[in-house]
Protein backbone atom coordinates (compact mmCIF):
# COMPACT_ATOMS: atom_id res chain seq x y z
CA UNK A 1 0.00 0.00 0.00
CA UNK A 2 1.47 3.39 -0.99
CA UNK A 3 1.79 6.39 1.29
CA UNK A 4 -1.33 8.58 1.53
CA UNK A 5 -0.37 12.01 0.24
CA UNK A 6 -1.88 14.75 2.39
CA UNK A 7 -1.15 17.60 0.01
CA UNK A 8 -4.38 19.53 -0.71
CA UNK A 9 -6.41 17.06 1.37
CA UNK A 10 -9.24 18.60 3.41
CA UNK A 11 -8.80 17.78 7.09
CA UNK A 12 -11.40 18.58 9.76
CA UNK A 13 -10.09 18.63 13.36
CA UNK A 14 -12.39 19.00 16.35
CA UNK A 15 -10.87 20.40 19.52
CA UNK A 16 -8.33 22.40 17.51
CA UNK A 17 -8.26 25.33 19.94
CA UNK A 18 -5.91 23.63 22.42
CA UNK A 19 -3.50 20.80 23.18
CA UNK A 20 -3.33 17.89 20.77
CA UNK A 21 -5.78 19.43 18.27
CA UNK A 22 -3.75 22.65 18.06
CA UNK A 23 -0.47 20.82 17.44
CA UNK A 24 -2.16 18.41 15.03
CA UNK A 25 -3.56 21.26 12.92
CA UNK A 26 -0.03 22.58 12.49
CA UNK A 27 1.32 19.13 11.66
CA UNK A 28 -1.32 18.53 8.96
CA UNK A 29 -0.79 22.05 7.59
CA UNK A 30 2.94 21.29 7.27
CA UNK A 31 1.97 18.38 4.96
CA UNK A 32 0.06 20.79 2.69
CA UNK A 33 -3.44 19.88 3.92
CA UNK A 34 -6.32 22.36 3.96
CA UNK A 35 -7.93 22.61 7.37
CA UNK A 36 -11.31 23.03 9.00
CA UNK A 37 -10.86 23.90 12.69
CA UNK A 38 -13.72 23.22 15.11
CA UNK A 39 -14.12 24.09 18.82
CA UNK A 40 -16.03 26.56 21.01
CA UNK A 41 -13.38 29.29 21.41
CA UNK A 42 -13.44 31.16 18.12
CA UNK A 43 -10.67 33.62 18.98
CA UNK A 44 -8.24 30.75 19.56
CA UNK A 45 -9.20 29.05 16.30
CA UNK A 46 -8.74 32.31 14.41
CA UNK A 47 -5.35 32.78 16.02
CA UNK A 48 -4.39 29.25 14.93
CA UNK A 49 -5.67 29.88 11.38
CA UNK A 50 -3.57 33.03 11.27
CA UNK A 51 -0.46 31.18 12.49
CA UNK A 52 -1.02 28.49 9.84
CA UNK A 53 -1.49 31.21 7.22
CA UNK A 54 -1.59 30.56 3.46
CA UNK A 55 -3.16 32.40 0.49
CA UNK A 56 -6.87 33.38 0.77
CA UNK A 57 -8.13 30.26 -1.04
CA UNK A 58 -6.14 28.01 1.31
CA UNK A 59 -6.92 29.72 4.61
CA UNK A 60 -8.16 27.37 7.33
CA UNK A 61 -11.92 27.34 7.78
CA UNK A 62 -12.93 28.25 11.34
CA UNK A 63 -16.19 26.81 12.70
CA UNK A 64 -17.42 27.32 16.24
CA UNK A 65 -19.55 24.56 17.74
CA UNK A 66 -20.42 23.38 21.21
CA UNK A 67 -20.18 19.64 20.67
CA UNK A 68 -21.86 18.98 24.03
CA UNK A 69 -25.11 20.23 22.49
CA UNK A 70 -26.93 17.71 20.33
CA UNK A 71 -27.18 18.92 16.73
CA UNK A 72 -24.17 21.22 16.73
CA UNK A 73 -21.82 18.61 15.26
CA UNK A 74 -24.21 18.16 12.31
CA UNK A 75 -24.44 21.95 11.89
CA UNK A 76 -20.63 22.20 11.93
CA UNK A 77 -20.42 19.43 9.29
CA UNK A 78 -22.84 21.36 7.09
CA UNK A 79 -20.81 24.57 7.45
CA UNK A 80 -17.56 22.77 6.60
CA UNK A 81 -19.16 21.04 3.61
CA UNK A 82 -20.39 24.39 2.28
CA UNK A 83 -16.91 25.88 2.69
CA UNK A 84 -14.76 22.98 1.42
CA UNK A 85 -17.16 20.76 -0.53
CA UNK A 86 -16.41 17.79 1.75
CA UNK A 87 -13.69 16.26 3.90
CA UNK A 88 -10.92 13.75 3.18
CA UNK A 89 -9.71 13.25 6.77
CA UNK A 90 -12.03 13.58 9.76
CA UNK A 91 -10.30 13.87 13.14
CA UNK A 92 -12.58 13.45 16.16
CA UNK A 93 -10.30 14.85 18.83
CA UNK A 94 -12.41 17.14 21.08
CA UNK A 95 -12.82 15.73 24.56
CA UNK A 96 -15.31 16.48 27.30
CA UNK A 97 -14.96 15.95 31.05
CA UNK A 98 -16.97 14.82 34.03
CA UNK A 99 -15.89 13.64 37.47
CA UNK A 100 -17.55 12.23 40.57
CA UNK A 101 -18.78 8.87 41.78
CA UNK A 102 -20.82 6.83 39.35
CA UNK A 103 -23.95 7.29 41.47
CA UNK A 104 -23.55 11.04 42.09
CA UNK A 105 -22.93 11.79 38.40
CA UNK A 106 -25.42 9.06 37.38
CA UNK A 107 -27.19 10.00 34.13
CA UNK A 108 -27.28 13.71 34.94
CA UNK A 109 -26.73 16.59 32.52
CA UNK A 110 -22.96 16.63 33.11
CA UNK A 111 -22.64 12.96 32.15
CA UNK A 112 -24.85 13.40 29.10
CA UNK A 113 -22.85 16.43 27.98
CA UNK A 114 -19.65 14.38 28.27
CA UNK A 115 -21.10 11.57 26.17
CA UNK A 116 -22.29 14.12 23.62
CA UNK A 117 -18.73 15.46 23.16
CA UNK A 118 -16.85 12.16 23.45
CA UNK A 119 -19.22 9.77 21.70
CA UNK A 120 -22.32 11.18 19.97
CA UNK A 121 -20.65 14.15 18.24
CA UNK A 122 -17.92 11.96 16.70
CA UNK A 123 -20.67 9.65 15.46
CA UNK A 124 -22.65 12.61 14.08
CA UNK A 125 -19.57 13.72 12.12
CA UNK A 126 -18.96 10.17 10.92
CA UNK A 127 -22.61 10.09 9.82
CA UNK A 128 -22.17 13.37 7.98
CA UNK A 129 -18.92 12.58 6.12
CA UNK A 130 -18.51 8.82 5.66
CA UNK A 131 -21.20 8.37 2.95
CA UNK A 132 -19.39 10.83 0.64
CA UNK A 133 -16.02 9.20 1.46
CA UNK A 134 -17.51 5.82 0.50
CA UNK A 135 -18.87 7.23 -2.73
CA UNK A 136 -15.37 8.53 -3.60
CA UNK A 137 -13.70 5.32 -2.38
CA UNK A 138 -11.25 7.39 -0.34
CA UNK A 139 -11.09 8.91 3.10
CA UNK A 140 -9.77 8.56 6.64
CA UNK A 141 -11.46 8.75 10.02
CA UNK A 142 -9.23 9.38 13.05
CA UNK A 143 -10.83 8.93 16.46
CA UNK A 144 -8.92 10.04 19.54
CA UNK A 145 -9.95 7.83 22.46
CA UNK A 146 -7.85 7.23 25.59
CA UNK A 147 -5.88 4.75 27.62
CA UNK A 148 -8.85 5.14 29.98
CA UNK A 149 -10.71 2.61 27.81
CA UNK A 150 -8.74 -0.15 29.58
CA UNK A 151 -8.24 1.51 32.92
CA UNK A 152 -11.12 2.29 35.25
CA UNK A 153 -10.47 4.69 38.14
CA UNK A 154 -12.71 5.98 40.95
CA UNK A 155 -14.56 9.21 40.08
CA UNK A 156 -13.97 8.75 36.37
CA UNK A 157 -16.67 6.23 35.45
CA UNK A 158 -18.80 8.07 32.92
CA UNK A 159 -15.83 9.65 31.15
CA UNK A 160 -14.06 6.30 30.95
CA UNK A 161 -17.20 4.67 29.59
CA UNK A 162 -17.53 7.33 26.89
CA UNK A 163 -13.92 6.71 25.78
CA UNK A 164 -14.45 2.96 25.77
CA UNK A 165 -17.66 3.38 23.76
CA UNK A 166 -15.84 5.41 21.10
CA UNK A 167 -13.01 2.87 21.05
CA UNK A 168 -15.38 0.00 20.28
CA UNK A 169 -17.30 2.06 17.73
CA UNK A 170 -13.96 2.81 16.06
CA UNK A 171 -13.17 -0.92 15.79
CA UNK A 172 -16.61 -1.51 14.29
CA UNK A 173 -16.20 1.31 11.79
CA UNK A 174 -12.88 -0.13 10.63
CA UNK A 175 -14.50 -3.50 9.96
CA UNK A 176 -17.47 -1.91 8.18
CA UNK A 177 -15.29 0.25 5.92
CA UNK A 178 -12.71 -2.40 5.06
CA UNK A 179 -14.29 -3.32 1.74
CA UNK A 180 -14.50 0.35 0.68
CA UNK A 181 -10.77 0.90 1.13
CA UNK A 182 -11.40 3.63 3.70
CA UNK A 183 -8.95 3.99 6.55
CA UNK A 184 -9.77 4.21 10.27
CA UNK A 185 -7.18 5.20 12.89
CA UNK A 186 -7.66 5.00 16.63
CA UNK A 187 -5.38 7.26 18.66
CA UNK A 188 -4.87 6.00 22.21
CA UNK A 189 -3.17 8.68 24.29
CA UNK A 190 -1.73 8.14 27.72
CA UNK A 191 -0.50 11.27 29.51
CA UNK A 192 0.07 14.13 27.07
CA UNK A 193 1.24 17.52 28.24
CA UNK A 194 -1.88 19.62 27.55
CA UNK A 195 -4.20 21.74 29.75
CA UNK A 196 -6.11 18.53 30.59
CA UNK A 197 -3.24 17.85 33.02
CA UNK A 198 -4.50 20.68 35.25
CA UNK A 199 -7.81 18.99 36.18
CA UNK A 200 -6.26 15.50 35.91
CA UNK A 201 -3.84 16.35 38.72
CA UNK A 202 -6.87 16.90 40.99
CA UNK A 203 -7.81 13.21 40.72
CA UNK A 204 -6.30 11.48 43.75
CA UNK A 205 -3.77 8.77 42.93
CA UNK A 206 -3.75 9.23 39.16
CA UNK A 207 -0.33 10.84 38.90
CA UNK A 208 1.27 7.98 40.82
CA UNK A 209 -0.42 5.11 39.01
CA UNK A 210 -0.46 6.52 35.49
CA UNK A 211 1.94 9.41 34.91
CA UNK A 212 4.84 8.09 36.98
CA UNK A 213 4.61 4.68 35.31
CA UNK A 214 4.00 5.72 31.71
CA UNK A 215 5.76 9.05 31.37
CA UNK A 216 4.40 12.02 29.48
CA UNK A 217 4.56 12.91 25.78
CA UNK A 218 4.16 16.31 24.15
CA UNK A 219 1.27 17.30 21.85
CA UNK A 220 3.83 17.68 19.06
CA UNK A 221 5.06 14.08 19.53
CA UNK A 222 1.59 12.58 19.36
CA UNK A 223 0.64 14.83 16.43
CA UNK A 224 3.64 13.67 14.41
CA UNK A 225 2.62 10.05 15.14
CA UNK A 226 -0.99 10.70 14.06
CA UNK A 227 0.04 12.31 10.77
CA UNK A 228 2.40 9.39 10.12
CA UNK A 229 -0.39 6.90 10.88
CA UNK A 230 -2.69 8.63 8.36
CA UNK A 231 0.05 8.66 5.72
CA UNK A 232 1.11 5.04 6.34
CA UNK A 233 -2.50 3.88 6.92
CA UNK A 234 -1.80 2.39 10.33
CA UNK A 235 -4.69 1.23 12.52
CA UNK A 236 -3.59 2.57 15.91
CA UNK A 237 -1.36 5.14 17.56
CA UNK A 238 -0.08 4.60 21.12
CA UNK A 239 1.51 7.61 22.78
CA UNK A 240 3.61 7.51 24.83
CA UNK A 241 4.65 4.11 23.40
CA UNK A 242 4.37 2.68 26.97
CA UNK A 243 0.56 2.78 26.54
CA UNK A 244 0.70 -0.12 24.08
CA UNK A 245 1.51 -2.68 26.76
CA UNK A 246 -1.46 -1.62 28.90
CA UNK A 247 -3.79 -1.62 25.89
CA UNK A 248 -2.65 -5.13 24.99
CA UNK A 249 -3.02 -6.50 28.54
CA UNK A 250 -6.33 -5.19 29.93
CA UNK A 251 -6.79 -8.12 32.34
CA UNK A 252 -3.45 -7.38 34.00
CA UNK A 253 -4.29 -3.67 34.08
CA UNK A 254 -7.56 -4.41 35.89
CA UNK A 255 -5.83 -6.62 38.47
CA UNK A 256 -3.15 -4.00 39.12
CA UNK A 257 -5.78 -1.26 39.40
CA UNK A 258 -7.57 -3.24 42.13
CA UNK A 259 -4.27 -3.43 44.05
CA UNK A 260 -3.60 0.28 43.49
CA UNK A 261 -7.05 1.32 44.67
CA UNK A 262 -6.79 -0.90 47.79
CA UNK A 263 -3.46 0.69 48.60
CA UNK A 264 -4.58 4.26 47.92
CA UNK A 265 -8.16 4.00 49.19
CA UNK A 266 -7.71 6.58 51.93
CA UNK A 267 -6.54 9.15 49.41
CA UNK A 268 -9.38 8.60 46.96
CA UNK A 269 -12.24 11.14 46.85
CA UNK A 270 -13.23 11.91 50.45
CA UNK A 271 -16.06 9.64 51.51
CA UNK A 272 -18.34 12.53 52.51
CA UNK A 273 -18.21 13.87 48.92
CA UNK A 274 -18.98 10.56 47.22
CA UNK A 275 -22.76 11.11 47.30
CA UNK A 276 -22.72 14.72 46.16
CA UNK A 277 -19.65 15.83 44.21
CA UNK A 278 -20.24 16.27 40.47
CA UNK A 279 -17.61 18.08 38.43
CA UNK A 280 -18.95 18.88 34.98
CA UNK A 281 -16.93 20.39 32.14
CA UNK A 282 -17.67 23.96 33.28
CA UNK A 283 -17.23 23.42 37.04
CA UNK A 284 -15.15 26.29 38.55
CA UNK A 285 -12.67 23.81 40.07
CA UNK A 286 -11.95 22.29 36.68
CA UNK A 287 -11.76 25.64 34.87
CA UNK A 288 -9.42 27.04 37.53
CA UNK A 289 -7.14 24.00 37.30
CA UNK A 290 -6.96 24.38 33.50
CA UNK A 291 -6.28 28.08 33.73
CA UNK A 292 -3.55 27.59 36.29
CA UNK A 293 -1.92 24.88 34.15
CA UNK A 294 -2.01 27.20 31.13
CA UNK A 295 -0.41 30.00 33.10
CA UNK A 296 2.39 27.70 34.18
CA UNK A 297 3.03 26.07 30.79
CA UNK A 298 3.65 27.10 27.23
CA UNK A 299 0.30 26.94 25.56
CA UNK A 300 -1.76 28.86 22.97
CA UNK A 301 -2.27 32.38 24.33
CA UNK A 302 -5.50 32.99 26.20
CA UNK A 303 -8.18 34.57 24.06
Ligand X SMILES: NC(=O)c1ccc[n+]([C@@H]2O[C@H](COP(=O)([O-])OP(=O)(O)OC[C@H]3O[C@@H](n4cnc5c(N)ncnc54)[C@H](OP(=O)(O)O)[C@@H]3O)[C@@H](O)[C@H]2O)c1
Residues that bind ligand X (CB under 6 A): 15-21, 39-41, 44, 65-68, 93-96, 117, 144, 146-147, 189, 191-192, 194-196
Q: How crowded is residue 167: how many other Cβ atoms within 10 Å of its Cβ?
A: 20
Minimum CB distance to ligand X, residue 197 (Å): 6
Q: Which is nearer to ligand X, 49 or 192 (CB)?
A: 192
Instruction: Please spell the DSSP secondary structure of 250-270, one letter per residue.
Output: HHHHHHHHHHHHHHHGGGSSP
Instruction: Please spell the DSSP secondary structure of 29-40, one letter per residue.
Output: HHTT-EEEEEES
**DSSP at 300:** S
* Backbone phi and psi for residue 283, each to the nearest 5 degrees, phi listed first: -65, 135
Q: Which is nearer to ligand X, 69 or 274 (CB)?
A: 69
Q: Which is nearer to ligand X, 44 or 174 (CB)?
A: 44
Residues ≥6 apart with Cβ < 8 Å to 223? 20, 23, 24, 26, 27
Minimum CB distance to ligand X, residue 266 (Å): 26
Minimum CB distance to ligand X, residue 248 (Å): 17
Nearest to 236 by CA among 175, 165, 185: 185
Minimum CB distance to ligand X, residue 276 (Å): 24
Q: How crowded is residue 136: how many other Cβ atoms within 10 Å of its Cβ?
A: 12
Minimum CB distance to ligand X, residue 4 (Å): 22
Q: Which is nearer to ligand X, 108 or 180 (CB)?
A: 108
Q: Which is nearer to ligand X, 33 or 97 (CB)?
A: 97
Instruction: Map residue 13 onto helix, strand or coil.
Output: strand
Minimum CB distance to ligand X, residue 24 (Å): 9
What Cα–Cα distance (Å) separates residue 79 from each residue in 30, 122, 126, 172?
24, 16, 15, 27
Residue 296 CA to residue 22 CA, distance in Å, equals 18
Q: Which is nearer to ligand X, 101 or 194 (CB)?
A: 194
Amino acid sequence: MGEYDLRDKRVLITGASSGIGWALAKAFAAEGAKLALVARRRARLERLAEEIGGPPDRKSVVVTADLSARGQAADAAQEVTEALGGIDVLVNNAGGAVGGSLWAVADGDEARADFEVDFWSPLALIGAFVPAMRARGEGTVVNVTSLRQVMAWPSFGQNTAAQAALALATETLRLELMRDGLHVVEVIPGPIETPIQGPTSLIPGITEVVHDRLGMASPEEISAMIVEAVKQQLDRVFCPETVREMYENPVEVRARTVDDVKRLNRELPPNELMDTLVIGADHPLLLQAREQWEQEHVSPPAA
